[in-house]
């Protein structure tokens, strides 16, 4: 079911009524090739952050991983940081980072590793955001762009299995990966000064 959902690009229909809907709409509108799986990943990162990585890799492994990611990113004139829902975590655009800081992977790693001090979100909180997303599907606020596929029913089946698996992290869809810049997720506080803070309006 995840494979089917990751192959269907979605759109947001109508006006956003609250902060949650505004976050989902903005995410869909400002990114290309977004599927329902990408929205779930957006919500996962918003609530649970990067603890699934921080809990299973040591500092040296994380630094080497970020070094590789940064070296493959092309410098680009874009905002440095993109807030996630709730603004506890942000996505740090590696292309924008390279333009401003070169290949300073140690700085990027320091920002990422500061997540160890960040309080973990709960599966219960994440589950509530999934329920809110399900309602948007039921009301057809989030819908497939080109297909008549019954997205709401398929999503319920997917979430049932996903919950039984204790909400493991998901990969982005192929369409999203091809059409959007590479990033890492860092605590919003790590971007609260300098240019990053200006990008976030904080």
In tens, the pLDDT along 96-117 reads 999 999 999 999 999 999 999 9
Q: Which residue ranges in the chain fall short of pLDDT 70?
A: 1, 193-202
β-sheet bridge partners, residue 12:
142
Give the pLDDT confidence score for residue 199 in this predicted structure.
41
Give the pLDDT confidence score for residue 1 in this predicted structure.
63
In tens, the pLDDT along 144-168 reads 998 777 888 889 999 999 999 999 9
Give the pLDDT confidence score for residue 198 in this predicted structure.
40
Q: Find all residues with CB under 8 Å of 139, minimum gap 6, and list them.
A: none
How many angstroms from the chain centroid is the CA of residue 83?
9
Cβ atoms of residues 171 and 44 within 8 Å: no
Quick one: which of 3, 38, 48, 66 has its CA closest to 168?
48
Give the pLDDT confidence score for residue 150 in this predicted structure.
81
């Amino acid at each position: 079911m995840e494979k089917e959902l990751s192959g269907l690009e979605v759109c947001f229909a109508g006006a956003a009524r609250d902060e949650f809907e505004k976050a989902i709409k903005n995410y869909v509108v400002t990114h290309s090739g977004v599927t329902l799986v990408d929205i779930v990943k957006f919500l996962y990162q918003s609530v649970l952050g990067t603890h699934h990585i921080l809990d299973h890799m040591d500092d040296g492994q994380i630094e080497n991983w970020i070094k590789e990611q940064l070296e493959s990113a092309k410098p680009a004139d874009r905002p440095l940081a993109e807030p996630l829902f709730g603004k506890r975590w942000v996505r740090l655009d590696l292309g924008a980072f390279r333009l401003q800081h070169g290949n300073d992977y140690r700085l990027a790693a320091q920002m990422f590793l500061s997540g160890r001090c960040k309080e973990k979100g709960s599966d219960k909180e994440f589950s509530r955001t999934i329920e809110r997303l399900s309602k948007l599907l039921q009301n057809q606020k989030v819908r497939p762009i080109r297909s008549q596929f019954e997205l709401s029913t398929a999503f319920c089946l997917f979430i049932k299995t996903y919950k039984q698996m204790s909400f493991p992290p998901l990969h982005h869809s192929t369409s999203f990966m091809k059409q959007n810049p590479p990033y890492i997720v860092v605590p919003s506080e790590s971007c609260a000064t300098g240019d990053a803070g200006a990008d976030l309006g904080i």
